[in-house]
Amino acid sequence: MRIFFIICFSLITYSVNAQVKLLTLDDLDKRIAQGKDTTYVINFWATWCSPCVAELPNFEKLRLANLKKPVKVLLVSLDFKSKLQKKVIPFAQKNNIKAEVFLLNEPDQQQYIERIDKKWSGAIPATLFVNMKVRRFYEKEFTEQELKNTLLNLK
Amino acid sequence: MKNLFLIGFMLISSFAVAQSEGYKIGDLVKDFALKNVDSKMVSLANYKDAKGYIVVFTCNTCPVAKGYQERVSALNASYASKGYPVVAINPNDAGAVPDESFEKMQALAKEKNFSFPYLLDPNHVVTKQFGALKTPHVFVLSKTDKGNVVEYIGSIDNDAEGENPDKVNYVQNAISELSAGKKPTISSTKAVGCSIKWKKG
């Protein structure tokens, strides 16, 4: 019986993992506000961006290292919305990405780049560390160690 | 007195930050001499009859930059004869990404029939002066008595995918306004692009 539950549970998690949901910045703000003491590590990437793809495993390692802590890794793709079915979902499945994957559903780059961070040029990869108290934005690539340290030193 | 020091310190630090962030609208551009794909050196001063320049940081590999290649060629075709030539600069380091090599730049320029210079920027010197952070990243300059002034910084248009019904051609608009003796109404825009591949170490 127990095994049955475990199988069901893993099937559910698997199907959730294979999904890529559309996300607006309002959705994201709501999520952060509801997270209470949760720190969100939000990576902005795209399937076409090679340094982004190269650093995704570092975010997976960060996620695994913080499973028991109030830390959530969100991978927000900036691929064109028209590429959701053809590129982003197959990419997430093929690479067996376990973190939550989203595709940013905002029509206006001008507006959303500024809203995420005023200093952001729009270059990716870029990563936002955010909780109710702190908001730190980095327009850079991260190593596993840098991610770990940035999270630890977040004040 | 203490406050005065504090203010002084703040002024110095804000100046240091501004320095490292590259050109702002209204800044004067320092001329450069960079190697073109034909191995000749190119400087802004070479263009005696120019009224200004469309400086485009672009590269061989970035999908967004590739998506804009034809639009960059079209800008040069439309505006070089009107006094605003395109000067393209590759900010990426071939050591970091082998496909950004000078030979690959030559091949791309030949394949796509670039009618404008496509320059190598070893050690990112000019890239850092401008404060370019991604490809594509455009700086429209106007030639004045004081020198070449930055008039517009940002993207070519707001239509990377080529499907925006509300497309605005920022660079075209900026040049039309400059040609009419006006300042660009929109002088700075942002768009998603590829990070610059800096030299490692």
Q: Which residues of B touch A43 (CB under 8 A)?
A: none
Q: What is the DSSP string of A10-30?
A: HHHHHHHHT-EEEE-HHHHHH
Question: Closest residue of A to B193, CA-based?
Answer: A123
ipTM of predicted assembly, 2 dp = 0.84
Query: In chain A, what residues touch B160 (CB-CB under 8 Å)?
Result: 80, 109
- Across the interface, of B63, B189, B194, the residue whose CB is closest to A123 is B194
pLDDT of A15 higher than 60: no
| Residues B135-171: tens digit of each pLDDT | 999 999 999 999 999 999 999 999 998 888 889 999 9
- Which pLDDT score is estimated for B11? 52
Mean of pLDDT values over A101-121: 95
Is the Cβ of A123 closer than 8 Å to some Cβ of chain B?
yes
Query: Is some CB atom of chain B closer than 8 A to the CB atom of A143?
Result: no
Instruction: Give me the pLDDT at residue B188, please.
Output: 96
In chain A, % of residues over pLDDT 70: 88
Q: What distance in Å separates the CA atoms of residue B186 and residue B174, rounded to the nearest whole number?
A: 7
Model pLDDT, residue B163:
85
Confidence (pTM): 0.88
Which residues of chain B make contact with A87, given a CB cutoff of 8 A?
none
- Residue A88 scores a pLDDT above 60: yes
Interface contact A121-B63, CB threshold 8 A: no
Q: What is the pLDDT of residues A43-81, one digit of tens each?
A: 999 999 999 999 999 999 999 999 999 999 999 999 999
pLDDT score recorded for residue B162: 86
pLDDT digits (tens, 9 = 90+) for A128-138: 999 999 999 99
